[in-house]
Chain A
Amino acid sequence: MTHQHNSRINRRQFIQSAALLAAAGSLPGLSWANSVISGNNKLAVIILRGAMDGLAAVIPYGDAALRTHRAALVPADETLLKLDNFFALHPAFPGLFQLQKAGELSIVHAIASAYRERSHFDGQNVLESGLEMARPNASGWLNRALQAQSHQQAMALGQSVPLILRGQAIVGSWAPSVLPALNEDTLTRLQGLYSDDSFLGPRLQEAIDAKAIVSAGMSKSRATGFTALIDAAGNFLKAPGGPNIVVLENNGWDTHVNQGGAQGTLPRKFTELDNSITRLKTALGTTWQNTVVVVMTEFGRTVRVNGTLGTDHGTAGVAFLAGGGLTKYGSRPAVLGPWPGLSEGNLREGRDLQPTNDLRSLIAEILQSHMGFNGQLLRDLVFPGMPMSGFRVS
């Protein structure tokens, strides 16, 4: 137990010494190469569970076929937050719109994981495992990345550790507690008992460490639900010696029924996401400048509105990148990725947006150019089936 504790302190000192500057390799076909990697860089991953309707979030209003497929789901043209003469953000995203103007937002459209079926559970499994197909006992891609570069530390914010962070590398987790605290002595004795348990022991240690870090910044916060997790993300990421990677989960994106056009269920979720990212920026303060937030979901939704004014499980959708850390990539189009088109012949299986980018290529890009993970490691261990073509900007 003592030994483990010491090794953790060493890892933190290691982060502070910024020794990971040397780690970058190179992926073929990279579009955003040559960025400066800082040892203080931070990553927040937000998983939207249930499949966000990318066509409702980032609306290709310039595509002539859009309104034939889903007129009921498209807000009035004059309310759209237009990014260029083809794409617009849904009006519920004023915060993201501001970030985009400041170069602190990138949108990737028509992007998908390797998964091509329509099950949430398998889709999330592939999204988080980074593998070609769903495997019940897979490890998460972020955990595999950490196994190889253990000077980076990750923490799950929420009631449990999601698949993306599961695996051999030990990660922390934190969620607001409503129960009373244990006394120091009993905790120490329990640590002794847990040291013999290879599964539970390291997890108890992480829990104890996490509580020590968060108590200072969190005691005054009254926020609840996802907002509380956003505040915790801010506190953890800016804490000296804290984790440099956090993962948050947000549920409720499976909009089969009455998803709403200008207003309704899905626009309310957009507002929540918009507020959350704005709040994270505030919570992070100057740390926002070194941060990239990745917002991703398991798949997109059908192009056509369904029989109950919602949308069903589709294929490609949208990923957001936000954060001051994006400004280093310089000037770029508002929406990245080739546009496959919405006319009948362009739809996948006659119903879905055709993917033109693989999420793994995008994430690999961020892990390498922003977080300093080694390119070879990403190809071999983190995303073994990733297409060699790399991320396509247009």
Chain B
Amino acid sequence: MTTYSPFIAANRFGLGIQPGEHTSIAKDPKGWLSAQLPLANRLPPRYAQLLNSVQLIEMADADYRQRIRFQQDGEVTEAEQLQLRDAQRIATTMLRHHANQRTAVAIESDTPFAERLVRFWSNHFSVTLDNSRPTTLYAGLAYENEAIRNNMNRRFEDMLLSVAGHPVMLTYLDNTLSLGPTSPVGRQRKRGLNENYAREMLELHTVGADGGYKQADVIALARMLTGWSVNLPTNTAARPDLQTPAGSFYYDTRAHEPGTQQFLGKSYVDSGLQQAVTAIRDLAYHPATANFIARKLVRHFIADQAPESAVVKLAQVFRDSRGDLPTLHKALIDLDEAWDPRLQKLKTAEDFVISTARALPGIPLSDSVLGILNDTLGSLNQTPFTAPSPAGWPEQAEHWGGPDALIKRLEFINMVSSAVGVDFDARDIVTQILSANPTLQTAIRRSESKTQALTLLLASPQFQWRA
């Protein structure tokens, strides 16, 4: 007999329970979660005014080219210096604003399960943005909204294709540099394939490392993906497609490797852009993809060591529903394992910071407060869109709960409590955000101050776990 705990519903599947919520969630914890699913593709109002990725890529590209232009003629004049500093300031302010909005959306969310799912998929199709790829540096949040959030109520196939056609992913995994070796552009520049995206699409996004593909399949997929690029100017030429805006997806037929490709035991005739589209569709429905995605969801939401029973059930739902994401998400909370209190996940740094803020309602989400929270994410090594590899943020408790990470969590809570501890009563909050725990309640009651009590609550081991 499964017991549906409101704390598990809100802490394991959501972004952390808020004081006062648990009585209403307790009436129907599963219903509370599933009611959020239809809203998963809703754009939070805080994002409504942000620029889209095409605009942001065009802007970043222009900034980058200006910097190169100024630096190329040997000397940067004082006027140029000022212009560069201006551009830098505008970009920094904008990126800080994006980061603040993203943190605020999570703290305020009234559909926290849906928001967690968006972040799960965004991490599944992880992009790391840094100066090595200057044109996409500003577009992380736009990518998350356009390629991920926008597809939350569609099929896995749709999300996979949106990601594959998104300039941020094409740039991040070097597909924009990959040329068909015997294509006109490839011959002319004497350059060829870059396998990076093809390999990661197989290994990390669909069938997984043990999905049965060979090096030849990686190469075939890389060949089919040649030509998938971004419409941007080069140092010597205008952007290739003047009819569409700079920064949008561009299919370069002259860079596409001609010919039929053998991929995972099937022939794909050269139909240009459509060749890779067909292959990507087939990948979305490959049996190994269902298993890989099911395991990843279970590992993310239920336990580092995914219970096989749950993986098998979820993979079956993936196949039966042909990768319908809302059906899959609903199936996740229908699993008995999902409600097993013995299974535990340690909060990631982001979960921890967000759930801390959600546990302390009434703190104004001003730019300076959000800035501190984002700095904390930086110190805890989880600034959004900076995952250490294309595999995204790790799942295991060992990654997030190392001794040094723990002491930093404690120090962050110490800082929060020093600032707002006097405004909250931890004796009251503890019963509303964590399941009953006499030892912790006693320790809080015996604290020497309200500040110390709040530190003990939020720095407690119970609050580091997501259950």
Give me the interface of A with B, judged by CB distance under 8 Å: 117-122, 134, 137, 156, 158-161, 163, 166, 172-175, 177-183, 185-187, 189-190, 192-194, 196-197, 199-201, 203-204, 206-208, 210-211, 251, 256-257, 306-309, 312, 349
* Complex CA distance for A185 and B407, rounded to whole angstroms: 15
B109 at the interface (CB under 8 A from A): no
Tell me if A307 and B191 are in contact (CB < 8 A): yes
* Complex CA distance for A210 and B408, rounded to whole angstroms: 13
Can you add 19 more A-B contacts, CB < 8 Å, to A160-B398, A200-B464?
A119-B203, A137-B305, A156-B404, A158-B404, A159-B402, A159-B404, A160-B381, A160-B394, A173-B402, A178-B379, A179-B376, A179-B414, A180-B414, A185-B448, A189-B452, A193-B443, A200-B406, A307-B179, A307-B193
| With A177-B407, A179-B379, A251-B388: A192-B191 Cβ-Cβ less than 8 Å | no
Chain B interface residue number, banded: 35 or more
Q: Name B's interface SS.
A: helix
Nearest residue, chain B, Cβ from A124: B389
A177 touches which one: B177, B400, B411 (CB < 8 A)? B411
Tell me if B401 and A199 are in contact (CB < 8 A): yes
**Chain A positions within 8 Å of B464 at CB level:** 200
21 contacts between A and B (CB under 8 A): A121-B204, A122-B209, A159-B402, A160-B381, A160-B404, A173-B404, A175-B404, A177-B408, A178-B379, A179-B411, A179-B415, A180-B418, A183-B414, A187-B410, A192-B443, A197-B461, A200-B401, A207-B403, A306-B192, A307-B186, A308-B178
1/0 contact string of B370-385 vs chain A (CB within 8 Å): 0000011001110000
**Chain A positions within 8 Å of B406 at CB level:** 200, 203-204, 207
Tell me if A208 and B440 are in contact (CB < 8 A): no
B181 touches which one: A174, A197, A208, A307 (CB < 8 A)? A307
Tell me if A206 and B405 are in contact (CB < 8 A): no
* Complex CA distance for A159 and B404, rounded to whole angstroms: 7
* Complex CA distance for A178 and B375, rounded to whole angstroms: 10
* Complex CA distance for A273 and B466, rounded to whole angstroms: 39
Whole-angstrom distance between the Cβ of A14 and the nearest chain B Cβ: 21
Q: Which residues in window 406-433 of B have CB below 8 A to A?
A: 406-408, 410-412, 414-415, 418
Whole-angstrom distance between the Cβ of A51 and the nearest chain B Cβ: 12
Query: Lowest 10 CB-CB distances: which A-B pairs, in order?
Result: A307-B192, A207-B403, A197-B461, A179-B411, A207-B407, A161-B402, A206-B403, A159-B381, A173-B404, A173-B403
* Complex CA distance for A214 and B380, rounded to whole angstroms: 19
* Complex CA distance for A42 and B389, rounded to whole angstroms: 31
**Chain A positions within 8 Å of B379 at CB level:** 177-179
* Complex CA distance for A118 and B199, rounded to whole angstroms: 9
Tell me if B440 and A193 are in contact (CB < 8 A): yes
Q: Which of B391, B401, B406, B447 has the most CB of A within 10 A?
A: B406
**Chain A positions within 8 Å of B195 at CB level:** 312
**Chain A positions within 8 Å of B448 at CB level:** 185
Give me the interface of B with A, judged by CB distance under 8 Å: 174, 177-179, 181, 186, 191-196, 199, 203-204, 209, 215, 304-305, 346, 375-376, 379-381, 388-389, 391, 394, 396-408, 410-412, 414-415, 418, 439-440, 443, 447-448, 452, 455-456, 459-461, 464
* Complex CA distance for A173 and B406, rounded to whole angstroms: 10
Whole-angstrom distance between the Cβ of B345 and the nearest chain A Cβ: 12
**Chain B positions within 8 Å of A179 at CB level:** 376, 379, 408, 411-412, 414-415
**Chain A positions within 8 Å of B375 at CB level:** 178
Tell me if B194 and A203 are in contact (CB < 8 A): no
Tell me if B411 and A156 are in contact (CB < 8 A): no
Tell me if A200 and B194 are in contact (CB < 8 A): no
B456 touches which one: A117, A166, A193, A204 (CB < 8 A)? A193
* Complex CA distance for A181 and B376, rounded to whole angstroms: 14
B411 touches which one: A161, A181, A197, A200 (CB < 8 A)? A181
* Complex CA distance for A199 and B389, rounded to whole angstroms: 26
B407 touches which one: A197, A204, A257, A309 (CB < 8 A)? A204
**Chain B positions within 8 Å of A160 at CB level:** 381, 394, 398-400, 402, 404-405
**Chain B positions within 8 Å of A194 at CB level:** 461
**Chain B positions within 8 Å of A189 at CB level:** 443, 447, 452, 456
* Complex CA distance for A118 and B204, rounded to whole angstroms: 13
Nearest residue, chain B, Cβ from A349: B215
* Complex CA distance for A180 and B439, rounded to whole angstroms: 27
Tell me if A166 and B398 are in contact (CB < 8 A): yes
Whole-angstrom distance between the Cβ of A301 and the nearest chain B Cβ: 12
B194 touches which one: A161, A174, A182, A306 (CB < 8 A)? A306
**Chain B positions within 8 Å of A190 at CB level:** 410, 455-456, 459-460
Tell me if A257 and B209 are in contact (CB < 8 A): no
